[in-house]
Structure 1
Amino acid sequence: MPDTPAPRVPAARVTVVGIGADGWDGLPAASQEALRGAGTLVGGARQLALLPAECAGERVPWPSPLRPAVPGLLAAHAGREVCVLASGDPMFYGIGRTLTEVLAEAGAEPPRVLPHPSSVAYACARLGWPVEDTEVVTLVGRPLAGLAAALHDGRRLLVLSAGAETPAQVAGLLRERGFGATRMRVLEQLGGPRERQAGDTTAADWPPPSAAGGTDPLNVVALDCVRAPDALRLAAAPGLPDAAYEHDGQLTKRHVRAATLAALAPAPGELLWDIGGGSGSIGIEWMRTHRACRAVAVERDAVRAGRITRNADALGVPALRVVTGRAPEALAGLPAPDAVFIGGGLTAPGLLEACWAALPPGGRLVANTVTLESEALLADWYRRHGGELVRLAVAHAVPVGGFTGWRQAMPVTQWSVTKGAAPREAAPEPPATASHHPAAPSAPGDTP
């Protein structure tokens, strides 16, 4: 029996109207006109209640979950003028993006969008903060742990709240992360007649969750971040302190990790496979480079897989996906990567072949090892595919009696390659004569 094609969304005439806490009176004429003329009005219950009786269209509250219901909802109202209400700017963490994507998937025209000032615009205006210098983190439909990656001493953050309980939850996270001295202000009902600032204190002094009942659900939290002097400093660049991770020794150490991320070269929106995840450090720091970066950590040990999840939450990237299983079998069905890191299991039959086949042209592969057996394997792949083969050696100063000496860590052999790059040309074989001594380039001070 042939597959039944997915139903297409009829070519609906969709307008998305941004509305603020000031309701109908705060809308420009074009937005009011669109709402009056709509046959169907879609929005949250709070937003629909802001419309006057002169908006006579059928009022349809959003179903939950929202995105899967969009195609059916639009199909049910095909041929009508459909107006969708959104909070503030519909294209800023709003329904405008979802509608645009759903209509594009169906081959329909994109919606007409009539924006309203966003809560971020209002908050920055009230606080005197330049918008371009203010980072925004949304907790609407997203885990609280995602805020941790944005915490840096001296930074200003606006947190879009999921409800009345969000400020207390934010304060709790700040205290746990060593940012208890951060100044917190909660701005409620921005742009509306009931606008107010509901607090100006530090995270350490913020009321507990039991006091959240006095906070309006429509709020934005403003943070002036202050890190405690004894709190672990987590930089924006790769190479976080090893102490930032919970681990059992299976951890790519700090200096090698920084070199590995440099070789992987993450870019916004790219996906990494972190194979042999260990403690998850490579995938975590890949995702910390940009909020659009994604990663899948593949780890065969269930205890370590749980540890990866905890580390990802603690370091602000809860969206890291953890797959518990043995590679290459566990790679089946994963979305195609832009880059692959292999930190363990290199000698597993078919692993390198599977990773290489999964990479698109221009994709990067980086593999680290400390064993001779895996090093020989990497040398063979280097001979066939080119790239760069390096040995990373790190030594730490340690006490030696009353003096100081160097303690050498195990050297790491690293192969990095870009798929599609010109293969390395093999060196010509030397003449088979007993007197031949191949010359090697020497650096200043080397003994020939």
Structure 2
Amino acid sequence: MSDTPWLTIIGIGEDGVAGLSARSQAALRAAEVIMAPPRHLDLLGETQARTIPWPVPYRDGLDQLKTLHGQRVVVLASGDPFWFGAGSVIAQQFEAQDWVAHPGPSCFALAANRLGWALDKTACLGLHAAPMARLRRHLARDSRVIVTLRDGSSVSDLTGYLIDQGFGDSMLSIFEHLGGPQENIATAGASALQGTFDHPVCAAIHIAGPGQALTVATGQSDDTFEHDGQITKRPVRAITLSTLAPKPGEHLWDIGGGSGSIALEWLLAHASTRATCVEPRTDRAARIAENGKKLGVESRLTVVTGAAPEALTGLDTPDAIFVGGGLDDAMLDAVMDQSARLVINAVTLEGEARLAHAHTRHGGALMRIDIANAKPLGAKRGWAASYPVVQWSLIR
């Protein structure tokens, strides 16, 4: 097979062919077939190549593209195809020698240049195919975020979300047809922004308002999560997450999820982490899923309704396991079979005895967490102790 790529992925902007580099224009002239969404095909003007509108659903286009192997094919995508674009999805379907990419400037780069923002200090999110809740972890006063949006009507969804979260004072710059001759910028506060907007749209947000920001440390406030009282409280949760020690790309089993707070904080720790939450009660499992949506991490969260250890069968291999309740010998045997960091919390005397025995047999670290809070005691104050938590941790 020839090492010359037959497929060229070109990032095109709103200024069309005129804004492309010389090598991108040369690839277009040499193309036998051009595949692209209809909007991008409209930017081409006259061409001798056969044009194929990219179909919906998107997967059908990938299957069709594979049938063109061996012809000189160009695929057009927006801006930089490998930044919240189709480039990586397409490239994964082929061998490295099959394709080459010619990126254009991304809408994030263009928006930052229009506003004078430092792009390295600005969060960039693709909300064109994701819920607004993906913004949640970035909502902090004076933070700056640039987001892509699905269409013009999504602008009102964005402003509504900011207002609901207490950040209606944020300043928005809405970019229409960014980088093209029809480019337009509308700037206003989220609470005051009105009007209709033309696709393609992206928005730059300077966050402001009295809304509650999530901490970047472990130990979110308990009211961050909807719960029925079954929740690992903030101080113990902070210690537990520190012991679990999440790292990029790792997968957690949270067994006996309750509110899902441990799994959710694991997901908030890094954008590449994953978690599977196992919860026997259907109402709590549904609440965990809703908490995941509220925090914008639902795409990396799997909620399994069922009792361990039976519900653990067939789950993706974990890098870390947390057991927060319901520990018995069968569950302990099941988690000990996994090569993962293990953290188990116990509150009852029976659970504590089981962990003490496991520590004697297997080693690891055994820690008792005692927490007391100051509360009124008559006319004065005294310490009100919480139930102590015994934590056993082990690296398998």
Q: TM-score, structure 1 length as denominator?
A: 0.84
Kindly provide the amino acid, as one letter, of the partner of residue 325 in structure 1. G
Against the structure 1 CA distance between its residues 327 and 109, is the aligned structure 2 distance closer, same or farther, given a 3 Å change threshold? farther
Supply the distance in 2 between the matched residues of 1:68 and 1:343 (Cα, whole angstroms): 44
Match of 1:48 in 2: 41
* 2:319 counterpart of 1:342: no
Q: Which residue of 1 aligns with 2:113?
A: 125
1:64-106 Cα deviation digits (max 9, x unpaired): 3324652x223311211121111000111111111222225xx
1:373-392 Cα deviation digits (max 9, x unpaired): 22222222222332211011
How has the CA–CA distance of structure 1 residues 275 and 22 changed in structure 2, closer, same or farther, with 3 Å as cutoff?
Answer: same
- Please point out which of 202, 215, 218 is paired with 2:189: 202
Q: In the TM superposition, what are the counterparts of 1:57-206 in structure 2 within 5 Å?
A: 57-67=49-59, 69-70=61-62, 72-104=63-95, 109=97, 111-198=99-186, 200-206=187-193
**Equivalent position to 1:217, from 199, 206, 221:** 199
- Return the alpha-carbon distance in structure 1 between the equivalents of residues 333 and 6 of structure 2: 49
Question: 1:67/1:351 Cα in 2 relative to 1: closer, same or farther (>3 Å)?
Answer: farther
Distance in 2 between residues matched to 1:59 and 1:346, nearest whole Å: 61
Q: Which residue of 2 aligns with 1:364?
A: 341
Q: Which amino acid aligns with 2:321?
A: V
Distance 1:89 1:267, change over 3 A: same
Once the two structures are superposed, residues 306-329 of structure 1 have per-residue CA deviations (whole angstroms, 9 ceiling, x without a partner) of: 111222222232222211111122
**1:237, distance to aligned residue in structure 2 (A):** 1.3
Partner in structure 2 of residue 406 of structure 1: 383
Q: Compared with structure 1, are the counterparts of its residues 351 and 171 closer, same or farther at alpha carbon in structure 2 (3 Å cutoff)?
A: same
User: How many angstroms does 1:350 deviate by?
Assistant: 2.5
What is the distance in 2 between the residues matched to 1:297 and 1:244? 18
Which whole-Å CA distance do the structure 2 matches of 1:233 and 1:413 have between them? 31
Map of 2:352 onto structure 1: 375
Q: Which runs of 4+ in 1 moved over 6 A?
A: none
1:24 partner letter: V
Amino acid at match of 2:294: A
Distance in 2 between the 1:65 and 1:31 partners?
A: 27
Q: Is the 8 A contact 1:149 1:317 kept in 2?
A: no
The answer for unaligned runs of 5 or more in structure 2 is none
CA distance in 1, matches of 2:257, 2:125: 27
One-letter amino acid of the structure 2 residue matched with residue 410 of structure 1:
Y
In 2, Cα distance between the equivalents of 1:373 and 1:185? Answer: 58
Match of 1:24, SS state, is helix
Contact 2:255 2:321 (C-alpha < 8 Å) held by counterparts: yes
Give the C-alpha shift of residue 355 in structure 1.
2.3
Counterpart Cα distance in 1 of 2:250 and 2:75: 32
| Residue identity matched to 1:120 | F
Cα distance between partner residues in 2 of 1:141 and 1:110: 28
Q: Within 1, Cα distance between the matches of 2:53 and 2:277?
A: 39
Q: Which residue number corresponds to residue 279 of structure 2?
A: 299
The more displaced of 379-388 and 79-88 is 379-388
Q: Distance in 1 between matches of 2:379 and 2:188?
A: 49
1:266 aligns with 2:234: no
Indicate if the aligned counterparts of 1:12 and 1:74 stay in contact, CA closer than 8 A. no
Match of 1:37 among 27, 30, 35: 30
* Separation in structure 2 between the aligned mates of residue 181 and residue 88 of structure 1, nearest angstrom: 30
The 10-residue stretch of structure 1 (108-117 or 45-54) with the greater mean CA deviation from structure 2? 108-117
SS of 1:103's equivalent? coil
Report the count of equivalent residues: 392
Distance 2:108 2:370 in 1: 47
Cα distance between partner residues in 2 of 1:142 and 1:12: 32
Alignment partners' CA distance in 1, 2:31 and 2:314: 44
Paired residues for 1:224-263 under 5 Å: 224-228=206-210, 231-263=211-243
Name the CA distance, whole Å, in 2 between partners of 1:125 and 1:193: 17
RMSD: 1.7
Deviation at 1:137, TM superposition (A): 1.4
SS at match of 2:167: coil
Q: Alignment partner of 1:18: what SS? A: strand
Output the CA distance in 2 between the equivalents of 1:75 and 1:121: 32
Alpha-carbon separation, structure 1, partners of 2:191 and 2:83: 31
Give me the whole-angstrom Cα distance separating, in 1, the residues matched to 2:6 and 2:28: 13
CA distance in 2, matches of 1:217, 1:358: 49
Give the whole-Å Cα distance in 1 for the aligned partners of 2:394 and 2:322.
11
Task: State the one-letter code of the partner of 2:52.
Answer: V
The aligned runs of 1:309-324 (5 Å cut-off) are 309-319=289-299, 320-324=301-305
Whole-angstrom distance in 1 between the partners of 2:69 and 2:273: 37
8 Å Cα contact 1:12/1:78 also seen in 2: no
Distance in 2 between the 1:383 and 1:111 partners?
Answer: 57
8 Å contact from structure 2 (residues 5, 98) kept in 1: no
Superposed CA deviations along residues 285-332 of structure 1, whole A, max 9, x for unmatched, are 111111111111111111111111222222232222211111122122
